[in-house]
């Protein structure tokens, strides 16, 4: 049976009700506790009820926080060194946590920058199947729970402003978009139903960023024209700064009415078609709840299913939820693994930083032992001292948090900018990290938790010091139990930072391995420029002729060995439905449309059969070339050459039979670290795809030297030929590694941060130990130890700590890196090189960190150190 009530609860009680009143209550509780015979939970509950005493306006004593704060500030002012170090360590740890949290905030919590964003809802099938324009048309009419529902689809496209051409993401929307979202234009207007009607001129609303960047904030931008893909649009309005559409993480730069977008016209004209897929977003009517709206939508969905049973039979039901963060489940899915990894990493960094501060506080507590003993002797209660220690920790933590927020701000900006440039093709480019009240609140909470955690450190040592011993002049301070705690802290720091270091090394090795992957086609001395012949400027005939002409001219350029055309390049391709039998449901496969000499120019070996030839024309029998994976999947064990492949998805459009004439070696199509992918090629001379080609040059010398000539050549295609990116294939491959490189860089950066923090900790402990053992060192020197022996003493201490930390860290890593498997292409999670390399690095670091303390120890003059104190 415990004979003392829970100490922590008692201390908490004395903190809530200070002074003799608190003593009396504590005494009462103790009496009752003994009568009851124990009961920690009961005790804690009683302590909690004492908050009523604290809250009551009739309370007799007020915890004097102000005095504690003044005292704490004075202490910190007297010793700014330790406070600054503590705050800086904390700022680092808290700052990176704030940044990663704002990532999660953007993914899950952030609402739209529109009025009353908590009334805006997303209506979808949880990503299982899209909602179509036809559904929107039948749904949005009579829904009472909503004040409006709008449909939108975000697509990557290109915009021409005067002579400049660049890629953007646009939203094609229904005309009630702005009404539903209640977003106001800063110039002009948004859409009205008239913009959707039959003879309406295509109109566009541009983003503030476009207005600023490409129109230099010209107030007369309205009624000017821009071109998006094949059509001109009149600018009718400019969106407010900060509004970037409702398709996160994409950042929208242009909005236009969906029905005016040329690609959709055939789909919209077909009376039996469902129209393009759209996202539905609604605003709840005043007084309505999301639940009621959900019920109404479920009823409407039921009607839909009745009307179109074949399409919606297997669809998940529509549901309604408040629009928060990133609503697309696929985007969330793809961002989740790296976000979780980042979170784990920054938590580790924070722990390491907190441990540093705990160490600092411990060493301060050791130094101030005498001061504490004196105050106790003069009547300060233990609770008082603890409260005051807590006040110091809170000040350090809040100071660190404020610096951390500033740092986090800077990290946000840098990270956003870096993401946009280094990961342009991915969903990450639109991730905007921002500091908002949620992030600030999270940061403050983290700071306070840290404060409590590391003020436990000196508290754990117990403020129950033997007054007499502590007041003695030459009191031995900080021996035994205390240094054991510090040693434990340093070991944990070494272990944790080793885990990060190993993770970073593994990712680096994965990067190395991935970069060494053979893409399956030649990348040296090759460059390309992306060209597009849009309708109605070009017909399929004129486009084909243009490309043929450009090809001839390209071959004739000096320094060019050969040239070819390809629709797909690494990371970009299209898909088509294929099947081996016309009656079997088709599956998706990736396709490229190429000039017949493509395989020769790109060094993709044709393994069997023949290549495309000039006599494979639109009027001749359709032919395809397939890769090994497609061949082995569809016709395992058989000869694929000569087999028939049916192209087409089969819904209304008749499938086309194509004969396989050749099998080529697999290459990488999407990314270097992808698995086997079934792929087929058609000849551009036989099949018209869409006039979107990369003109590829095989050069004799450095390809980038030909960039200017290539551009000049492209311009000879006339003003209607769209010219997009130009790049060498080496650069293209480099860019495709962005994700792996980015992961490795991030982790490497954090690993470095963790090491820096841990080195500070290690140095602190070793230096402190030296200071404590000054007398012992003096004795040793006096009895004949050499300076080498003394240095070895210090080094051995450091090495002992480090080695224990390394062993623990290696074990932890072996467990932890298993979860990194999905990031590690071609590298084992327990790769011995990474593990041993990291351990070695730490041993070297620990030797360096103990260098200065060792030198200081060696210089100890026994005559001085053997005097008192």
Partner 1 sequence: MLEYLGEFEQIVLLAIVRLGQSAYGVPIRHEIEKRTGRHVSVGALYSTLDRLEGKGYVHSWFADATPLRGGRSKRYFRLLPQGFGALARSKSMLDRMWHGVNVKREFHA
**Contacts to partner 1 by CB under 8 A:** 17, 20-21, 23-32, 34, 45-46, 48-53, 55-60
C-beta of 29 vs 149, nearer to partner 1: 29
C-beta of 3 vs 142, nearer to partner 1: 3
Shortest reach from residue 51's CB to partner 1, in Å: 7
User: Is the distance from CB of 625 to CB of 681 less than 8 angstroms?
Assistant: yes
The CB density around residue 621, as the number of other CB atoms within 10 Å, is 11
> Scanning the structure block, which residue is given the tokens 């074990």?
811
C-beta of 10 vs 296, nearer to partner 1: 10
Taking the C-alpha atoms of residue 396 and residue 382, their distance in angstroms, rounded to an integer, is 21
The CB density around residue 9, as the number of other CB atoms within 10 Å, is 19
C-beta of 46 vs 627, nearer to partner 1: 46
User: Is the distance from CB of 709 to CB of 557 less than 8 angstroms?
Assistant: yes
C-beta of 10 vs 195, nearer to partner 1: 10
Paired sense of beta strands 319-322 and 120-124, if any: antiparallel
For residue 343, what are the contacts with CB-CB under 8 A and spacing of at least 6? 100, 104
Shortest reach from residue 793's CB to partner 1, in Å: 46
Shortest reach from residue 12's CB to partner 1, in Å: 13
Shortest reach from residue 92's CB to partner 1, in Å: 41
Of 534, 645, 85, the closest CA to residue 353 belongs to 85
For residue 73, what are the contacts with CB-CB under 8 A and spacing of at least 6? 395
Taking the C-alpha atoms of residue 385 and residue 387, their distance in angstroms, rounded to an integer, is 5
Shortest reach from residue 387's CB to partner 1, in Å: 18
C-beta of 60 vs 479, nearer to partner 1: 60
The CB density around residue 117, as the number of other CB atoms within 10 Å, is 16
Shortest reach from residue 20's CB to partner 1, in Å: 6
Taking the C-alpha atoms of residue 398 and residue 77, their distance in angstroms, rounded to an integer, is 16
Q: Name beta bridge partners: 204.
A: 235
Shortest reach from residue 842's CB to partner 1, in Å: 48
C-beta of 20 vs 484, nearer to partner 1: 20
The CB density around residue 465, as the number of other CB atoms within 10 Å, is 16
Shortest reach from residue 65's CB to partner 1, in Å: 20
Taking the C-alpha atoms of residue 147 and residue 131, their distance in angstroms, rounded to an integer, is 20
Helix (H, G, I), strand (E, B) or coil at 229: coil
Q: Mind giving me the DSSP string for 338-355?
A: HHHHHHHHHHHHHHHHHH
C-beta of 49 vs 614, nearer to partner 1: 49
Shortest reach from residue 43's CB to partner 1, in Å: 10
Of 361, 348, 355, the closest CA to residue 391 belongs to 361
Taking the C-alpha atoms of residue 540 and residue 501, their distance in angstroms, rounded to an integer, is 56
C-beta of 385 vs 406, nearer to partner 1: 385
Of 145, 438, 169, the closest CA to residue 287 belongs to 145
C-beta of 45 vs 128, nearer to partner 1: 45
Exposure on the CB side of residue 495, measured as CA atoms within 13 A: 22
Radius of gyration of the chain (CA): 35
Could you tell me the two tokens for 255? Answer: 């909005």
User: Is the distance from CB of 794 to CB of 854 less than 8 angstroms?
Assistant: yes
Taking the C-alpha atoms of residue 222 and residue 241, their distance in angstroms, rounded to an integer, is 17
C-beta of 28 vs 64, nearer to partner 1: 28
Shortest reach from residue 1's CB to partner 1, in Å: 15
Shortest reach from residue 456's CB to partner 1, in Å: 23
Shortest reach from residue 42's CB to partner 1, in Å: 10
Paired sense of beta strands 203-206 and 231-238, if any: parallel
Shortest reach from residue 19's CB to partner 1, in Å: 10
C-beta of 45 vs 613, nearer to partner 1: 45
C-beta of 45 vs 657, nearer to partner 1: 45
């Amino acid at each position: 049976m415990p004979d003392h009530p829970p100490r922590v609860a008692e201390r908490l009680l004395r903190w809530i009700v200070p002074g003799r009143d608190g003593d009396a209550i504590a005494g009462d509780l103790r009496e009752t506790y003994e009568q009851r015979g124990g009961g920690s939970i009961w005790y804690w509950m009683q302590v909690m009820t004492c908050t009523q005493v604290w809250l009551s306006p009739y309370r007799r004593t007020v915890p004097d926080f102000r005095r504690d704060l003044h005292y704490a500030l004075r202490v910190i002012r007297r010793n700014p060194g330790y406070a600054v170090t503590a705050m800086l360590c904390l700022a680092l740890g808290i700052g990176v946590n704030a940044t990663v949290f704002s990532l999660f905030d953007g993914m899950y919590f952030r609402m739209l920058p529109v009025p009353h964003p908590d009334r805006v809802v997303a209506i979808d099938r949880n990503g299982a199947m899209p909602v179509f324009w036809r559904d929107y048309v039948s749904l949005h009419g009579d829904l009472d729970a909503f004040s409006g529902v709008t449909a939108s689809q975000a697509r990557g496209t290109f915009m021409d402003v005067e002579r400049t051409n660049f890629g953007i993401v646009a939203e094609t929307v229904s005309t009630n978009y702005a009404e539903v979202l209640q977003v106001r234009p800063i110039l002009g207007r948004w859409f009205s139903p008239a913009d959707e009607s039959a003879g309406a001129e295509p109109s566009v609303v541009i983003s503030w960023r476009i207005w600023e960047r490409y129109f230099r904030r010209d107030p007369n931008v309205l009624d000017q024209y821009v071109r998006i893909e094949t059509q001109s649009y009149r600018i009718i309005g400019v969106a407010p700064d900060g509004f970037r559409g409702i398709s996160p993480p994409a950042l929208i730069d242009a909005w236009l009415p969906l029905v005016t977008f040329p690609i959709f016209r055939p789909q919209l004209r077909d009376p039996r078609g469902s129209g393009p897929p759209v996202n539905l977003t609604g605003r709840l009517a005043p007084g309505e709840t999301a639940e009621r709206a959900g019920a109404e939508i479920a009823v409407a969905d039921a009607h839909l299913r009745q009307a179109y049973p074949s399409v919606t039979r297997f669809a998940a039901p529509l549901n309604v939820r408040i629009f928060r963060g990133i609503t697309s489940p696929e985007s969330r899915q793809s961002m989740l693994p790296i976000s979780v990894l980042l979170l784990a990493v920054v938590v580790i960094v924070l722990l390491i930083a907190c441990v540093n501060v705990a160490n600092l506080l411990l060493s301060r507590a050791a130094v101030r032992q005498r001061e504490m003993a004196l105050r106790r002797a003069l009547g300060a209660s233990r609770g008082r001292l603890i409260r005051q220690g807590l006040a110091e920790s809170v000040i350090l933590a809040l100071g660190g948090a404020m610096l951390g927020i500033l740092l986090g701000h800077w990290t946000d900006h840098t990270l956003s900018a870096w993401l946009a440039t280094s990961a342009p093709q991915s969903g990450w480019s639109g991730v905007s990290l921002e500091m908002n009240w949620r992030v600030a609140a999270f940061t403050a909470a983290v700071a306070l938790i840290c404060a409590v955690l590391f003020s436990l450190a000196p508290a754990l040592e117990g403020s129950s010091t033997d007054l007499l011993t502590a007041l003695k002049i030459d009191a031995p301070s900080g021996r035994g139990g205390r240094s054991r705690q510090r040693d434990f802290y340093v070991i944990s720091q070494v272990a944790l930072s080793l885990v990060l270091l190993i993770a970073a090394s593994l990712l680096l090795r994965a990067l190395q391995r991935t970069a060494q992957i053979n893409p399956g086609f030649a990348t040296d001395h090759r460059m390309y420029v992306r060209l597009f012949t849009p309708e109605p400027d070009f017909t399929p005939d004129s486009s084909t002729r243009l490309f043929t002409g450009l090809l001839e001219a390209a071959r004739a350029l000096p320094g060019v060995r050969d040239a070819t055309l390809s629709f797909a390049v690494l990371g970009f391709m299209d898909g088509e439905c294929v099947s081996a039998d016309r009656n079997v449901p088709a599956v998706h496969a990736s396709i490229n449309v190429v000039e017949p000499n493509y395989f020769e120019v790109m060094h993709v070996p044709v393994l069997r059969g023949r290549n495309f030839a000039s006599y494979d024309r639109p009027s001749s029998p359709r032919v395809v070339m397939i890769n090994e994976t497609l061949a082995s999947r569809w016709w395992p064990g058989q000869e694929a050459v000569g087999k028939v492949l049916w192209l087409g998805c089969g819904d209304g459009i008749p499938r086309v039979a194509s004969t396989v004439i050749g099998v080529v070696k697999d290459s990488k199509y999407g990314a270097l670290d992808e698995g086997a992918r079934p792929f087929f090629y058609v000849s551009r001379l036989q099949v018209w795809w869409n006039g979107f080609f990369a003109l590829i040059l095989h050069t004799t010398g450095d390809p980038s030297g030909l960039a200017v000539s290539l551009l000049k050549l492209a311009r000879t295609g006339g003003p209607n030929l769209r010219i997009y990116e130009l790049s060498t294939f080496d650069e293209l491959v480099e860019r495709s590694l962005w994700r792996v490189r980015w992961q490795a860089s991030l982790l490497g950066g954090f690993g470095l941060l963790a090491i820096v923090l841990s080195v500070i900790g290690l140095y602190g402990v070793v230096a402190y130990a030296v200071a404590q053992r000054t007398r012992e060192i003096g004795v040793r020197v006096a009895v004949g130890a050499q300076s080498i022996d003394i240095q070895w003493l210090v080094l051995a201490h450091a090495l002992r700590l480090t080695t224990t930390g390394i062993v623990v860290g290696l074990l932890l890593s072996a467990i932890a890196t298993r979860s990194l498997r999905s990031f590690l292409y071609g590298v084992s999670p327990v790769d011995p090189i990474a593990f041993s390399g990291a351990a070695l690095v730490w041993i070297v670091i620990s030797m360096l960190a103990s260098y200065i303390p060792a030198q200081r120890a060696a210089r100890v003059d026994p005559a001085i150190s053997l005097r008192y104190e």
